[in-house]
Every structure is written in C-alpha cells, then in structure tokens.
Amino acid sequence: MAGRALNPAGVPALRIATLVGLWAAWEAAARTGLFYEGVVPSSLLVLQSMARHVVDPVFYSHAWRSIYEIGLGFALGTGIGMVGGIALGAHAFSNKAAAPYIHGLASTPKIVFLPILMLLFGAGPGSKIGMGAFSAFFPMVIAIAAGMGEINPVHVRVARSFNASTWQIVRKVYLPSLVEPAITGMRLGLGVAIIGVLLAEIKFSDRGLGHLAIQHYNFFRVADMYAVLLLTFSLAVLANGLMSRVGTALVRRKAPA
C-alpha cells in the first residue's frame, strides 16, 4: 500500500517536536538520578553556561581562531580539490590510475596525519589549517572528478572546433556543468574540515573552540563543555545552511528559464 504523501507544512512542526522530545529526554535523564550529574548535567545548567559564553569576549577569541583555521583550510582544500578533480576528470587514464589512492586516503581518519602536518607547519595555526585543507580536499576532488565524467563530450569537441583554449574550455564548458558536484563537495568538505580542525585543536593548541572544550573537560566543567559543543554545532549548522542557500541560488541561476 502506498504511503501517505508528506505534507510540507508539517515538516517544521515535526522538527520542533523532535527537538522538544530530545530536550525532554535529556532533562528527564538528568533528573532521574540514573546518571552521574557530572556526565548528564541539567539542560538548564547548559543553557546558563551558553548564555555566559555568548557574552564572554574570551569565547569569541577562541571562536574567531577556529573560524579562521576552518575557513582558510576549507578554501585551500576545496580550491585544490576542484583543480585536481578537473585535471583528473579530463584524462580518463589518470583518473583511473589515481582513483584507488584518492578513495583509500579519503576513507582514512585524517587525524593520523596530524603529526606530519605539525612537522611541516608547526604546532600553531598552520597545522590546523593544513588539517582542514587535507580534510576538505578529498570530498571535493572526488565529487568534481565524478562530475567531469557526466559532461557531454560533444560540448568539449565543439569548443575545441572553435579553437577554444584550455582555460576557455574550463570556464565555458567545465565550470558551468560542475555547479552541483561542487556544491556537494563543498558541503561534505565543510563538515570534515570542521571535524579535522577541532580534533587538531583538542590535541595540540592553545586557542580555538576545540581547545576551549577540552579545557572545560580537563577541569570537569561538564556543563561548560556541553555549552561550547552546542555553540560549535550551531555555528556549523549556520554555515551549512548558508552554503545550501548559495548552492540553491547558483543551481537556479544555471537552470534554463
């Protein structure tokens, strides 16, 4: 039997109900006494800590460091990934030769490469930027290389018949056809770049949201730790939502009238 069609108007209500349900479950777990209060503190304590953090200049010092490291690493990783994806996708032999290595490295936890990045760039922001770039590179290069395989070769042959240069083919044929794969690669790359930078900050850093969270943990300020994690999650959701809107606008602009 066919399922009922989903009513779009009910989606926001369902999301709110899910959020309220999760909050109620958290608060119930904190108040039942089944869990140690240091592990599952009251959500009210976490909310109070969040309020303190958003008016604390120290929090923004850590937040801006993380935003800088994530943003620069993400930009470098996606930029290099796009260039690499176009280069590989334009040559089938090179793509097939490199694909096993790229996919193998893509599935490897990037944190294992942190010691190498620290040797190359030091223990400061450079290694965190490198971790963000290394993490964001693989989703982008894989998405772009796959998108190149979907481009109609007739379009490339027509461009070449008009003596178009390589740069003209990239700008007029490849890039307009790669909008959707690029948005997909960027959305995936942003998520793993955030994870990579925060993990690097947790391991070796004197500033950043990852460092702030682990400092709260080390001093057993659990409510403060959860507050930092929730604020970090909120910033990530905001960035992802902004990217989704930009991607939707670009796809609509590309679509024929």
What confidence tens digit (pLDDT) does each residue in 86-101 have? 999 888 888 888 999 9
Evaluate if residue 37 carries a pLDDT over 70: no
Instruction: State residue 1's pLDDT score.
Output: 44
| pLDDT (mean) for 76-95 | 92
Query: Domain for residue 30, yes or no?
Result: no
Domain total for the chain? 1
> Is the distance from CB of 53 to CB of 227 less than 8 angstroms?
yes
Share of the chain above pLDDT 70, in %: 93
Please indicate, yes or no, if residue 249 is contained in any of the structural domains.
Answer: yes
| Confidence (pLDDT) at 30 | 80
Mean pLDDT of 205-227: 92
Whether residue 126 is contained in a domain is answered as: yes
Examine the pLDDT at 27 and tell me if it is beyond 80: yes
Domain boundaries, position 145:
57-254
DSSP 168-226: HHIIIIIHHHTHHHHHHHHHHHHHHHHHHHHHHHHHS-SSSHHHHHHHHHHTT-HHHHH
Closest residue by Cα to residue 236 from 124, 126, 71, 125: 71
Mean pLDDT of the chain: 88
Residue 3's pLDDT is: 52
**What is the CATH number for 184?**
1.10.3720.10
Q: Is residue 183 part of a domain?
A: yes
> Does residue 31 fall inside a structural domain?
no
Residue 32 lies in a domain: no
DSSP label of 91 = -
Those residues with Cβ within 8 angstroms of residue 87's Cβ, 6 or more apart along the chain or in another chain = 94
Band (pLDDT 50/70/90 cuts) for residue 142 is: very high
CA 169/CA 177 separation, integer angstroms: 11
DSSP 8-state code for residue 124:
S
Q: Could you tell me what percentage of the chain is helix, strand and coil, using 3-state DSSP and rounding each to the nearest 5?
A: 80, 0, 20
In-domain check, residue 70: yes
Q: Given the structure tokens 């490198």, which residue do they identify?
A: 130
* 144 token code pair: 């772009």
Q: Is residue 134 very low, low, confident or very high in pLDDT (cuts 50, 70, 90)?
A: very high
Say if residues 66 and 208 touch (Cβ distance below 8 Å): yes
User: SS3 of 165, please?
Assistant: coil
pLDDT at 143: 95
The answer to whether residue 8 sits within a structural domain is no
